[in-house]
Structure formats: structure tokens, C-alpha cells
Amino acid sequence: MNKTRAVYPGSFDPITNGHIDIIKRAGFLFGNLTVAVIDNPSKKCYFSKKERMFMIRKSIGEAGIKGVTVDSFRGLLVDYLRKTGQNIVIRGLRAVSDFDYEFQMALMNRKLYGKIETVFLMTDAKFAYLSSSLVREVARLGGDVRCLVPKVVAKKIKKLK
């Protein structure tokens, strides 16, 4: 197992089983992974930053994933990377449309901070349709999300109803 440090940034609102799959695989590849929760006060999130971080930690623990820390940041990812001395960014891809957006972001990040390397991991096919926004929509309309998210997330969502 490699001991190189990597960062998997996102809003994780909420974390899904697809995110857990990427975390597990990135953790295996890099050995030292930080899941960095974006704290964007202008974005209306379903869960608070504190709740999202709690659910990520709990989900990682329940999945038996080791070598992963959870942190948060505000502002630009490149500033967070500079501050923490990291330069590898993990991004998950589900479809070609994800690639278009993520490719633009990777190039912009590299323009802003030339040391950044972005590693794209394709999702497992069983999670190709899954997104946090889809989970929120299903939950908002009263659907059962237990097969889409870790147990702790499903419980939190059920309490919101």
C-alpha cells in the first residue's frame, strides 16, 4: 500500500454508498486519504457541515476503512491543499457528463496551483446513477433511501421526515 497522501473533496450532502466505494478504493491506493468537506456558506445544504462530517466518520468506521481522516475547508480547494501540504486530488466519475465538468475543474485547479495532480476513479457500475442530489430528492418525496446511503445517513434522513 502506498503512503502518499490524497484528498477527496466534496460537499457530501449526504455521503452515499458511491462515495464510500471511492473512499475505500482511494484509501487502498494512497494509504493516507483525507475526505475534505467543503464548507460553503452560500450553498444551502441539507445537512450542516458538522452533521456531514459526523456521518462520514461513522460511515467510514462502519465500512471498516482505515487510514482515512475527515476535515473541512472553506474557499478554494487549492488554498486548502497548499495549507495542508498536499497535491493529489481524488475525484469520482459516474458518466461522461461528470468527466466534462471534472476535467475543467482539474485544469483550473492546476492553473491556480501547478503542483496539483487529479486522479479520477470510475465508480462501480452499481453506483453509476447515484448522486447526493438524487438521494435528497428521493428522500424529500418520501422514498426509501436505505439502499443508497450508509445506515447512519438513512437514520438521519428518516429523522428529518
Give the pLDDT confidence score for residue 161 in this predicted structure: 63
pLDDT tier at 35, thresholds 50, 70, 90: very high
Q: Identify the band that residue 149 occupies on the pLDDT scale cut at 50, 70 and 90.
A: very high
**Mean pLDDT, residues 144-157:** 95
Q: Is 43 a catalytic residue?
A: yes
Q: What is the pLDDT of residue 34?
A: 98
| Residue 40 pLDDT level (bands cut at 50, 70, 90) | confident
- State the average pLDDT over residues 33-60: 94
**Domains located in the chain, CATH noted:** 5-160 (3.40.50.620)
The pLDDT, as a whole number, for residue 131 is 94
Strand, helix or coil for residue 141: coil
Respond yes or no: is residue 94 known to be catalytic: yes
Mean pLDDT of 42-48: 89
pLDDT tens per residue, range 66-118: 999 999 999 999 999 999 999 999 999 998 888 999 999 999 999 999 999 99
> Which residues lie closer than 8 Å to 114 by C-beta, 6 or more apart?
none
Mean pLDDT for 8-24 is 97
Residue 47 in contact with residue 157, Cβ under 8 Å?
no
Q: Which of 19, 25, 52, 91 is catalytic?
A: 19
Active-site option among 49, 59, 91, 132 = 132
- For the segment 16-39, the average pLDDT, to the nearest whole number, is 96
CB of 13 within 8 A of CB of 132?
A: yes
**pLDDT reading at 139 higher than 50:** yes
- Residues 32/3, Cβ–Cβ less than 8 Å: yes
Q: What is the chain's mean pLDDT, rounded?
A: 94
Alpha-carbon distance of 151 to 123, in angstroms, equals 20
- Note the pLDDT of residue 1: 46
Active-site annotation holder among 24, 57, 82, 94: 94
Residue among 43, 44, 159, 161 flagged as catalytic: 43
